[in-house]
Amino acid sequence: MKIDNYKPDFMVEAVYQLDAASLKMLGIRAVMVDLDNTLIAWNNPDGTPELLNWLDEMRANDVKVIVVSNNKRERVARAVEKFGVDYIWRAMKPFALGINKALLRFDEKPGEVVMVGDQLMTDIRAAHRAGVRSILVKPLVKSDAWNTQFNRWRERRVWKKLIARDGAPVWQKKLL
C-alpha cells in the first residue's frame, strides 16, 4: 500500500468551513462532496441551517456542488434533490469511476475540482485515482453506518503510518 494514496491535500474540520473565495483562489470551480457524515449526518437526511447557508454561498459565487456518493440512487436523491444539488450515485469509491463520471457530466477539469469527504479509504483514495485534489473533513457524527465501520478500522491503520512518517495531522478551521 502506497501511503501517499491516502494522504489528503487539505484537512478542514467541516465542509461548511470551505468558503467560495478560498476555493476560487485555488482555481476550484466545483466541489465534489461525499454525502454521509460529510455533507449531512448519515442518520439525519434533512440537513441543517449550516448546510443551507453553505449551499447558498456556493451558488452565489458560481461554485458548483456535486454529491459523489456510494449510496443507492433513492438514498442520494431523497437527501439532496430538495436542496437542488446535482449528484452521482453508486460512485464506487475508492475507485475513480464516480468522480470521472461527474467530471464528464458536469464538464469540469480535474484541476478545477476538489473532492471532499470524511474517509481516507474511499473519498481521498478515489480523489487520488481521479487526479483531483482532496479535502478530508471530520465526520459530522461519531457513529457510522455498519458498512463504514470496517473502513474506519482500516483507516486507523493508515493514520498510524501517516503520523509515524509526517507527524500528527493538523485540522484547519479554514481552507486558506
Provide CB contacts within 8 A for 94, sequence distance 6+.
Answer: 121, 122, 125, 126, 129
pLDDT tens digits for 111-136? 999 999 999 999 999 999 999 999 99
> Which residue matches cell numbers 478530508?
136
Asked whether the predicted pLDDT for residue 153 surpasses 90, the reply is no
Question: Would you call 115 helix, strand, or coil by DSSP?
Answer: strand
pLDDT tens digits for 9-57? 999 999 999 999 999 999 999 999 999 889 988 677 677 888 999 999 9
State the pLDDT at residue 33.
98
Residue 3 burial (CB count, 10 A): 12
Is the alpha carbon torsion for 8, 13, 17, 22 positive or negative?
negative
Is the alpha carbon torsion for 63, 37, 94, 137 positive or negative?
positive
- pTM value is 0.93
State the pLDDT at residue 45.
66
Q: Mean pLDDT throughout 159-165?
A: 95
State the pLDDT at residue 143.
61
In whole angstroms, give the CA distance from residue 30 to residue 81: 18
Provide CB contacts within 8 A for 153, sequence distance 6+.
Answer: none
Q: Phi first, then psi: what are they for 137, rounded to 5°?
A: -120, 160
